[in-house]
Structure 1
């Protein structure tokens, strides 16, 4: 990785160009308090932004540490070449029209290739990016207004969208932002490389990412590992959808998984927390800055209103947090602080009996956090408008929270953004108390911070495109003579798909193939009743009426086959005693590896949309964790006294599918078992679909 230190923490800056953007960079550097030289460069102007200009880069007093290039794309390439030869520390390329515009400009990729060649070893941010703001060292290589102020320590935020980054600088939530940067189209320095450089700075406490796409899987794996090694954490807002993973998909898995599921599963795999909004991103960064990752998702909450307590409990249902019942030590401490009139519960309504009594409130908040395995304590407190009201009566609560601080992190949470003034939020940060606002965003942030407190030991994802990443196939290529050419893509017929999967340990029903209704009836008699009859040639047999269950005689089989009128038939043993039906699917995501989907199967697949997504490879523990995350988990465990599913059998079935994918990774595009019928003592693949890579895809190889 290139040395980014001079670019990120420059002592001298050059600004190339004479437009308003470049004048703004000079203005913002001075406004931020940068005390080093700023050298404008323009061939005809005597000054830019009120500062005397140099006519050429070669005329500068010395090679600048950082350069902001605000000229057209062709001139940018030449400027980068000159700067690299002169030994500059790095450059930010504002211009667009490079690889990000290849759909509109035929020479966009060629221009980017030329830019990289011109840069050589000199780091380049962009092109097509705003730049960066380093509030720790008072550097503003930024062509617009912004809301940052100098800080001694704070979080870093990196964004693939310059406008989103600009908006984030305007937050008024008391979050100290030490560094904010954009990466444009990531021609040379991507999010992971920039993040890696920033994490090494001891003044950076946590890293927030706005992600539209992940280009370098191994780089992100290294970034996440380095963050944890340094005791820091990463939280991301992942937006955007790749159109690669779901192309030409014919299975339920494709429609359920979604095109960006691979990226989300990847971030979870490497221990990066994910949130769903910019508000939750900022709230989580506040938690990480003040308290670090939380030890658990078990929270305690105190408010002086029953309505607020109910809001906490109800809103928490939407996130991976819990409010455990109060223990004996908590009850004893709370009763001593609150007296006999207050009903003790979590979330707690402590009423207003002790309002203004700092020792009593401090004892209440401290007693509440005496529970076992707690992640955080939250005091709900909405402040009045300072322009119309007085906050004097709220001061004792702040003092009490500060006095109650102990091993369990404490937060003050306002239910609305408007009811936590920025100056009070900053004051709470200085006191070591997390200032949270916006109830849903805050609870989502607390859940994300608890996720970051878990132990992560990720294995590298299974990428078929990397040479040597996969074991050799023990069984050779899949039988392409059995491809069902009438379906989209190259779909292996069900009987052969099951046979191939059985070779890797998956349990499948006894079966026989038949060409006519009479042959189907005879095959059923040999297998033994009851049986299932399937018509061949359908990707989704149930929708086509090509599946008949629980046939108990040869006559029923013959009649069902005649009604189907299929070109061939598959007769199978009927699997009884089902506890549940599951979907087990794997899709090739060229960018992120093989995506595993586990969910409710059979007729409930699309109705419930109940799925968990992971990246291969998975362990038995990973599969169990995914099963526990399904909404149908109580059914699998044995609902209301009914027999439960054999979880070990399900895990073994999933691992058998994984073994098959690993053995044939160069050929498989997608694979689906639906349903996997789960009984109290086994898991049987009742249907299987395998789609192979097309001839064109094989010719292209496995590169993303």
Structure 2
């Protein structure tokens, strides 16, 4: 890793260029309070931003620690080369027109490569980025206005988008931002490398990321692990789309995995919490800064309005947040504090009987958390406009909470952003009370902070090279597993795919592959009726009329096969009695490893869209957890007295697929079983697809 210390904590700064952006860098640094030397560089001007300018980089009194380069893209490369040779601590490349513009500029990618080569060991942020704001050390290498102020400790926020980062500096939610940085094209220093450098600063309490694409999987794994080791946590807003094997329209898995499911599964795997909005990102960071990760998603809520209590309860249905029933100790304490007229529930409407009574409110809030296993206690409170109304009574609620001395983290939540003034939010942070606002964003943040309180798997993801520690699972298949004659355009026939899965440990129906309708009838007699006949050579057999079920005689089999017009036939035993049909699929994601998709299978795959995505490798516990998050989970468990599915058999089938992929990670593009017929005593792959990366597959004898 490059040493970023001089760049991020500079004692001297150079600004190259003379446009408005460069003058803004000088102005914003002055406003932030940077007290070290600032050296403008311009070949034709005597001064820039009120400071005397140097004609050349070589004329600077010494090698600067940090440099903002605000000149055109070709000149930027030349300047970086000189700065690197001079021994500068690092540079920010503001210019655009590099790899991000490769569709418009034929030389964009080449010029970015030249920039990286020119930098050598000198760290570079960008190109196509604004730079950073270090409010801890009063440094502003930033070419625009911003809303940050110096702080003693706070969170760090890193973004691939400079404009999004700029917008985040304008927040008025009381969140102390200690460092905000952008990385642009990540030509050299990416989000994980910059985040790693910041985590080591004791003044940084948590890390927030705005991600459009993950450049370095192993780097992000290391970042997440280091954060955990330091007792810090990471939350991300992931946008954009990774380019993965979406061209394979022959399977459901490729389409269901989606453009960026691999990235999302990857972040979840390494313990990075994810949110869906900038608002929720800020709310999670407030929780992490004040209280740290939450020990559970169990929340108790109190408000002096039934409407607010209902709003909390209803909104919570959309997030992984639980409002557990009140226990005996809670009810006893609340009854003593509130009297007989208040209906006790969670969320609680404590009415206005105790409004303005600090002692009574403190007793009420204390009783809410008495003897309960909770992650967070919340008091819903919307402040009136201070320019038109008195806030004196509302301040008493803060006084009541401040003296509580609770072991459970406490928060004040305003239902609207506008009803939590910035000064109040800052006061709450100073008191150790989490200031939350906007009910949906706040509850999403609570769920994310609770996720961050859980343990995460220790294994790295499985990449195409096979790199990645695998937990105990069926043995990986040996070499010589696939035969060239079994693949057509890289896709194995269904029969060959099932035989490969069977050798890996997946249970499949008894089957035979034959060439003619007459041979199909003979095979059916050997297998035993009823049977299924499938015509081979079709991407989607059902739509082509190439599947016939529950055939009871040789004549039926021959007639069915004869009407398909297929190049060959697969005859299988008819498997009945499934509790649930599942989709089990694995797709190669070039950016993040292999993505496992579990979901409702058969005809329900497209109708329900009920899936969960994980990155390989997985354990049986991971598989069971993902299945438990499906909407069809009650059917797997046994719904209304019906028999449940054999969960051990399902997990065994998934782990066998994992072993197959791990054994041939360099060769497999995707594997899909749809459906996996899940019965009370077994799980059988009724249909299967295996697509290889190319047709030049491994020869050799049958490994069975």
Partner Cα separation in structure 2 for residue 145 and residue 347 of structure 1: 42
Closer, same or farther: CA 284–76 of 1 in aligned 2, 3 Å: same
* Count of residues paired in the alignment: 694
CA deviation after TM superposition for structure 1 residue 630, in Å: 0.7
CA deviation after TM superposition for structure 1 residue 549, in Å: 1.7
Matches within 5 A, 1:334-353: 334-353=334-353
Instruction: Tell me what 1:480 maps to.
Output: 484
Matches within 5 A, 1:303-702: 303-465=303-465, 474-485=478-489, 490-694=490-694
Q: Which 10-residue stretch deviates more, 31-40 or 545-554?
A: 545-554
Partner Cα separation in structure 2 for residue 90 and residue 628 of structure 1: 49
Gaps of 5+ in 2: 699-704
Gaps of 5+ in 1: 699-704
Deviations 1:259-315 (A, max 9, x none): 211110000000000000000000000000000000001111101111111111110
Instruction: Tell me what 1:91 maps to.
Output: 91
Partner Cα separation in structure 2 for residue 691 and residue 462 of structure 1: 18
Instruction: Decide whether the 8 Å contact of 1:483 with 1:491 is kept in 2.
Output: yes
Instruction: Decide whether the 8 Å contact of 2:583 with 2:597 is kept in 1.
Output: yes
Closer, same or farther: CA 696–455 of 1 in aligned 2, 3 Å: same
Closer, same or farther: CA 695–27 of 1 in aligned 2, 3 Å: farther
Instruction: Decide whether the 8 Å contact of 1:245 with 1:259 is kept in 2.
Output: no
SS in 2 for 1:22: helix
What is the Cα-based RMSD across aligned positions, in Å? Answer: 1.6
Instruction: Decide whether the 8 Å contact of 1:484 with 1:537 is kept in 2.
Output: no
Partner Cα separation in structure 2 for residue 686 and residue 176 of structure 1: 56
Instruction: Decide whether the 8 Å contact of 2:533 with 2:569 is kept in 1.
Output: yes
Instruction: Tell me what 2:702 maps to.
Output: none
Instruction: Tell me what 2:59 maps to.
Output: 59
Q: Which 10-residue stretch deviates more, 56-65 or 160-169?
A: 56-65
Is structure 2 residue 297 aligned with structure 1 residue 297?
Answer: yes
Closer, same or farther: CA 472–408 of 1 in aligned 2, 3 Å: closer
CA deviation after TM superposition for structure 1 residue 41, in Å: 0.8
CA deviation after TM superposition for structure 1 residue 453, in Å: 0.1
Matches within 5 A, 1:261-276: 261-276=261-276
Closer, same or farther: CA 76–695 of 1 in aligned 2, 3 Å: farther
CA deviation after TM superposition for structure 1 residue 424, in Å: 0.7
Instruction: Decide whether the 8 Å contact of 2:12 with 2:37 is kept in 1.
Output: yes
SS in 2 for 1:503: helix
Deviations 1:546-576 (A, max 9, x none): 2122222333323322332322221111111
Matches within 5 A, 1:214-225: 214-225=214-225
Instruction: Decide whether the 8 Å contact of 2:466 with 2:666 is kept in 1.
Output: no
Partner Cα separation in structure 2 for residue 320 and residue 623 of structure 1: 19
Instruction: Decide whether the 8 Å contact of 1:584 with 1:599 is kept in 2.
Output: yes
Matches within 5 A, 1:104-123: 104-123=104-123
Instruction: State the TM-score, normalizing by the size of structure 2.
Output: 0.96
Partner Cα separation in structure 2 for residue 505 and residue 465 of structure 1: 22
Deviations 1:201-246 (A, max 9, x none): 0000000000000010110000000000000000000000123331
SS in 1 for 2:117: helix
Closer, same or farther: CA 467–642 of 1 in aligned 2, 3 Å: closer
Partner Cα separation in structure 1 for residue 58 and residue 449 of structure 2: 50
